[in-house]
Amino acid sequence: MGEDGAVTSASQRPDGTTPVTRLIATDLDGTLLRDDKSVSDRTVAALAAAEEAGIEVFFVTGRPARWMDVVSDHVHGHGLAICANGAAVVDLHAGREFVQVRALPRSAALSVVEALREAAPGTSFAVEMTTGINYEPDYPPFFMDPGANVATAEKLLREDTDGSAAPVLKLLAHHAELAPDEFLELARSAAGAYASITRSSPTALLEISGHGVSKASTLALCCAERGISPDEVVAFGDMPNDVEMLGWAGTSYAMGNAHPDVIAAASGRTTANNEDGVAVVIERIVAERLARRRQQQQGHVQPFRP
């Protein structure tokens, strides 16, 4: 790491120019948020400075939309966040309205349930829908969601005959005895043909989305809509559900507290979440951007080429 706690990892285009950062994509838990789930004053200031400098900020998280209050005040301009590991794009300025949903087909979810019941006996499930969470009796209860339905996954996933069932955003699978990475590897082997499987929890809790649905793929869609290329994106993360996003972005940072797979996937490292690692990098990006603008105004350098 450098003196400011972060590795310089800017990339160059084939024509020799350095891309301008147009969008920052950051995970929340273990990344932007401190362990107490707060957003530090330094981070709040860094996010505001990025927006002021013309850099869009997207929160890209495994959290459901209803758990976004912790950062909703810090979404500027566009107001959008990518939730549920890419299964939903949500407008936090419009009461957490779903702008886009990339659902997990119920048939695929049922196939995953069947495969994991056989491969990992003792697995319990929860079903995250656009209407909220529902879970099995043996699943660790969601104290933040007291109104959840409790039933077997098979019953929860049964399609209503009139087709009115709420879209499934992701399936959650928990095991009380397996190690987290062991459970992930086993699940991908047994059920990876039916869905995308990842994890973000320090416990043996897996998050299962529709095939091809990830933070990376939904972020790519949002960037394409804005004419933003991967090399104009800087991404931050700490857990396996961030790996694809960090590999897709032109510049990416693993947090000081990151999982080994995340460190391997990222192009740089920053300090831990409790040390404001995201803010450390954003401050430098903004400072370099402002310095470059001043130099351009003074005629010392050529303007960035798009």
Q: Kindly give the confidence (pLDDT) of every residue in the chain, 306 residues in length, as a single tens digit, with 9 standing for 90 and above.
A: 444 444 445 455 555 556 799 999 999 999 999 999 999 999 999 999 999 999 999 999 999 999 998 898 787 767 899 999 999 999 998 888 999 999 999 999 999 999 999 999 999 999 999 999 999 999 998 776 777 889 999 999 986 644 568 999 999 999 999 999 999 999 999 999 999 999 999 999 999 999 999 999 999 999 999 999 999 999 999 999 999 999 999 999 999 999 999 999 999 999 999 999 999 999 999 999 888 778 777 775 555 443
Examine the domain organization and report whether 123 and 79 are in the same domain.
no
Examine the domain organization and report whether 264 and 279 are in the same domain.
yes
**32 within a domain of the structure (yes/no):** yes
**11 within a domain of the structure (yes/no):** no
The DSSP bridge partners found for residue 170 are 128
Q: How far apart are CA 136 and CA 115, in angstroms?
A: 17
**7 within a domain of the structure (yes/no):** no
Q: What is the CATH number of the domain that holds 282?
A: 3.40.50.1000
Examine the domain organization and report whether 227 and 91 are in the same domain.
yes
Examine the domain organization and report whether 130 and 205 are in the same domain.
yes
Give the count of domains, the chain: 2
Of 181, 209, 237, which one is at a domain's C-terminal end?
209
Examine the domain organization and report whether 149 and 193 are in the same domain.
yes
Examine the domain organization and report whether 158 and 97 are in the same domain.
no
**154 within a domain of the structure (yes/no):** yes
Of 209, 227, 262, which one is at a domain's C-terminal end?
209
**10 within a domain of the structure (yes/no):** no
Q: pTM for the full model?
A: 0.89
What DSSP string describes the chain? --TTSS-------TTSPPPPP-EEEE-IIIIIS-TTS---HHHHHHHHHHHHTT-EEEEE-SS-GGG-HHHHTT--TT-EEEEGGGTEEEEGGGTSEEEEE-PPPHHHHHHHHHHHHHHSTT-EEEEEETTEEEE-TTSPP-TT-TT-EE--HHHHTPPPTTS-PPPEEEEEEE-SSS-HHHHHHHHHHHHTTTSEEE--SSSSEEEEE-TT-SHHHHHHHHHHHTT--GGGEEEEE-SGGGHHHHHHSSEEEE-TT--HHHHHHSSEE---GGGTHHHHHHHHHHHHHHHHHHHHHTTSSPPPP-
Give the model's pLDDT for residue 2. Answer: 45
Examine the domain organization and report whether 89 and 123 are in the same domain.
no
Examine the domain organization and report whether 169 and 224 are in the same domain.
no
Examine the domain organization and report whether 91 and 235 are in the same domain.
yes
Of 150, 178, 209, which one is at a domain's C-terminal end?
209
Q: How far apart are CA 170 and CA 191, in angstroms?
A: 14
Examine the domain organization and report whether 238 and 179 are in the same domain.
no
Compute the residue count for the chain: 306
**74 within a domain of the structure (yes/no):** yes
Give the model's pLDDT for residue 164. Answer: 65
Is the four-CA dihedral 127, 237, 283, 293 of positive or negative sign?
A: negative
Q: How far apart are CA 150 and CA 143, in angstroms?
A: 13
**18 within a domain of the structure (yes/no):** no
**306 within a domain of the structure (yes/no):** no
**Structural domain containing residue 184:** 106-209
Examine the domain organization and report whether 89 and 220 are in the same domain.
yes
